């Protein structure tokens, strides 16, 4: 008995050596690796706007992005075009540029420019990729803001339209980078309670089934913009707020309006509330979890691939929401 060394016994001994080796490596690591950054705080624009430094950082981020050439993936235009570019594909621009007809030469922003690979017109709507795609989009946008402002603790504010159903005043300061002249809503326009009232939001958050909470499922092989159906979050407050703000926000080129980012951050806050705070599980369907997006860039403007699976942990690792008043709780 004692002379017999079973295979499992052998592998256990090997495992302990490996564990010992790992322990040594881990002990040496802190001196060489920077600590993981603390999650950033995402607070409501109502609170955010009370702090002039925070407001200045948001304005500076937008200004820096706008100052970059539109061929730079971190520029304001390029970021919006990842979502959607009107009249794209590029041949429309090329034909317009070649035309002698002035009416066809209306396209001002780098006509003919196509990124290689083509990462424009990627936004999913009306399907279950809507939530994770915009989650990644916001995070990458926020990273670019941190890089361009040099403020690593910068967290994107959210517009809690359930609590404040008017476009926040900071977006109407026409001397600031947060202004967009195309909006149809004015500072006194108020969202219809049927879209944003706390009881409406509460009803949406009460739906425990991801397939009913999020928008409709699509096959793993289907293009990411394949339309299925609108869930209550996307179909009601999300769509309604876009149309209410109007102008750029009422179209797929909506990210050109700075309000877009705070609106989608509210949608994200509601998904986090539903999933992390209220404990409703996302789907584990591989057609959802294994989806990979390739159109985003890191802080240096280099392409990054992100999977839905890794994005499930973003709210744990990357950011925290303050305690928004969501639903009627
Ligand atoms: Cu949207």
Q: How far apart are CA 27 and CA 30, in angstroms?
A: 7
Compute, in angstroms, the gap from residue 66 CA to the centroid of ligand 1: 20
* Confidence band for 121, pLDDT divided at 50, 70 and 90: confident
For the chain, the domains span 43-66+123-321
Compute, in angstroms, the gap from residue 122 CA to the centroid of ligand 1: 12
Structure tokens at 226: 């394949």
* Confidence band for 111, pLDDT divided at 50, 70 and 90: very low
Task: Tell me if 230 sits within 8 A of 126, measured CB to CB.
Answer: yes
Q: Which residues contact 165 (CB under 8 A, 6 or more apart)?
A: 190, 191, 193, 196
Compute, in angstroms, the gap from residue 115 CA to the centroid of ligand 1: 23
The stretch 94-98 carries a mean pLDDT of: 58
Q: Token pair 């490596």 is at which residue?
A: 25
Compute, in angstroms, the gap from residue 283 CA to the centroid of ligand 1: 22
Q: Residue 119's pLDDT is what?
A: 74
The stretch 60-85 carries a mean pLDDT of: 90
Compute, in angstroms, the gap from residue 35 CA to the centroid of ligand 1: 34
Q: What percent of the chain has pLDDT over 70?
A: 78
CATH homologous superfamily, domain 43-66+123-321: Di-copper center containing domain from catechol oxidase (1.10.1280.10)
pTM reported for the whole predicted model: 0.82
Q: What is the DSSP letter of 117?
A: S
Helices (H) and strands (E) in the chain, counts: 15, 4
Compute, in angstroms, the gap from residue 56 CA to the centroid of ligand 1: 25
Compute, in angstroms, the gap from residue 120 CA to the centroid of ligand 1: 16
Instruction: For 22-54, write each residue's pLDDT tens digit.
Output: 333 344 444 555 667 899 999 999 999 999 999
Compute, in angstroms, the gap from residue 109 CA to the centroid of ligand 1: 23
Compute, in angstroms, the gap from residue 3 CA to the centroid of ligand 1: 69
Instruction: For 147-190, write each residue's pLDDT tens digit.
Output: 999 999 999 999 999 999 999 999 999 999 999 999 999 999 99
Compute, in angstroms, the gap from residue 161 CA to the centroid of ligand 1: 14
Compute, in angstroms, the gap from residue 159 CA to the centroid of ligand 1: 13
pLDDT, the chain, mean: 84
Helix (H) or strand (E) holding 308: helix 308-311
Instruction: For 1-18, write each residue's pLDDT tens digit.
Output: 333 333 333 333 333 333
Compute, in angstroms, the gap from residue 123 CA to the centroid of ligand 1: 9
Q: Which residues contact 79 (CB under 8 A, 6 or more apart)?
A: 65, 73, 141, 144, 255
Instruction: For 215-258, write each residue's pLDDT tens digit.
Output: 999 999 988 888 889 999 999 999 999 999 999 999 888 999 99
Q: Residue 144's pLDDT is what?
A: 96
Most confident of 5-9, 72-76, 191-195: 191-195
């Amino acid at each position: 008995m004692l002379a017999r060394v079973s295979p499992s016994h052998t592998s256990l001994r090997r495992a302990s050596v490996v564990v010992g080796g790992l322990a040594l490596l881990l002990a040496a690591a802190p001196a060489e690796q920077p600590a993981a950054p603390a999650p950033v705080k995402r607070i409501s624009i109502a609170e955010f706007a009370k702090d002039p430094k925070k407001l200045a950082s948001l304005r500076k981020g937008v200004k820096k992005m706008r100052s970059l050439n539109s061929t730079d993936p971190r520029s304001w235009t390029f970021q919006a075009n990842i979502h959607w570019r009107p009249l794209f594909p590029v041949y429309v621009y090329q034909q317009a540029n070649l035309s002698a007809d002035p009416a066809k030469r209306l396209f001002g922003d780098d006509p003919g420019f196509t990124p290689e690979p083509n990462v424009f017109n990627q936004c999913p709507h009306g399907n279950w990729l809507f939530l994770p795609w915009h989650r990644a989009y916001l995070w990458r946008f926020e990273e670019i803001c941190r890089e361009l402002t040099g403020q690593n603790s910068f967290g994107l504010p959210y517009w809690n339209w359930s609590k404040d159903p008017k476009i926040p005043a900071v977006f109407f300061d026409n001397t600031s980078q947060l202004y967009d002249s195309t909006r149809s809503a004015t500072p006194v326009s108020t969202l219809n309670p049927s879209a944003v009232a706390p009881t409406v939001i509460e009803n949406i958050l009460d739906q425990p089934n991801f397939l009913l909470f999020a928008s409709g499922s699509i096959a793993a092989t289907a293009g990411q913009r394949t339309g299925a159906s609108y869930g209550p979050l996307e179909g009601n407050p999300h769509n309604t707020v876009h149309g209410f703000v109007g102008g750029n926000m009422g179209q797929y080129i909506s990210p050109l309006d700075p309000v877009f980012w705070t609106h989608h951050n509210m949608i994200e806050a509601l998904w986090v509330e539903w999933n992390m705070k209220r404990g409703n599980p996302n789907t584990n369907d591989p057609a959802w979890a294994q989806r990979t997006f390739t159109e985003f860039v890191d802080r240096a403007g280099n392409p990054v691939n992100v999977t839905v699976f890794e994005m499930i942990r973003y709210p744990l690792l990357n950011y925290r929401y303050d305690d928004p008043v969501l639903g009627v709780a």
